[in-house]
Homo-oligomer: A and B are copies of this chain.
Amino acid sequence: MTKSSRAEPKSEAAFPRRGHDHHRCVADALSQAERLCAQRGARLTEIRKQVLELVWESHAPIGAYQILEKLAESGKRPAPIAVYRALDFLMEQGLVHRLASRNAFLGCGHPDTNHQAQFLICDSCGSVAELADTRIVDAIADRAGRSGFAVAGHVVEIQGTCPDCRKAAHAG
C-alpha cells in the first residue's frame, strides 16, 4: 500500500469539490490509463478507451446501458456485450470500479496501486467518494480471521448524505 506523499488534510477530502475542472480529471485519468496499460502490456483499445472516458465524464456512477446510449450518440451502437467486455477489462486493470448496490460503474481514483476500495455514496446527489480506509479493512480482516474465514475481496458501500447535500438541506 504505497501512500500518497502529501499529508491528509484535517477534513479528509473524500468527495471531489463541486465546480472543479472535471475535464482535467478525465484527461488525467485517460493519460494515466494509457501509461499503466503500456507498462503492463495491456491493450487499451479504442472502445475500451471510449468506455473509460464515458465513465469518467459522468460525475455519478454510470450504468452499462447508459454508456451504451452515449456511444450510440457518437455514431456507433455496439451490442451490450461489447460494453461489458470493455468494463471487464477496465476492472481487471483496476481502472474502473463497480458498485454492486447500484449496478453502476465509476472511474478509479488511484489505479496505480492495488487496492480494495470502499465507497461513500450520496443518496441525494449520487456523488461517490472512494476510500482506502485501513481501519475498515483491518476490522474486516480481524473479524473474518476470528471466524476462520479467508478473505478474498469485499464490497463496502456506504449510503447516506454527502457534506454538500447536508449543507444544502440545512440551508433549504
Contacts and interface: CB of A to CB of B under 8 A. Distances in A.
Interface of A: 11-12, 14-15, 100-101, 118, 120, 122-123, 129, 131, 133, 135-136, 138-140, 142-144, 146-163, 166
Given A100-B100, A140-B158, A156-B155, A147 B135 contact: no
A38 to B, nearest CB: 31
Main secondary structure of the interface of A (DSSP, over half): mixed
Copies of chain A in the complex: 2
A23 to B, nearest CB: 25
Contact of A147 (B129, B146, B154): B129
B150 A160 contact: yes
Nearest to A143: B133
B155 A160 contact: no
Contacts of A142: 135
Contacts of A152: 123, 159-161
Nearest to A98: B101
25 contacts: A11-B146, A11-B147, A11-B148, A12-B146, A14-B149, A129-B147, A129-B149, A131-B143, A133-B143, A135-B142, A135-B143, A136-B136, A136-B140, A139-B139, A140-B156, A144-B160, A148-B163, A148-B166, A149-B163, A150-B166, A152-B161, A154-B157, A154-B158, A155-B157, A155-B158
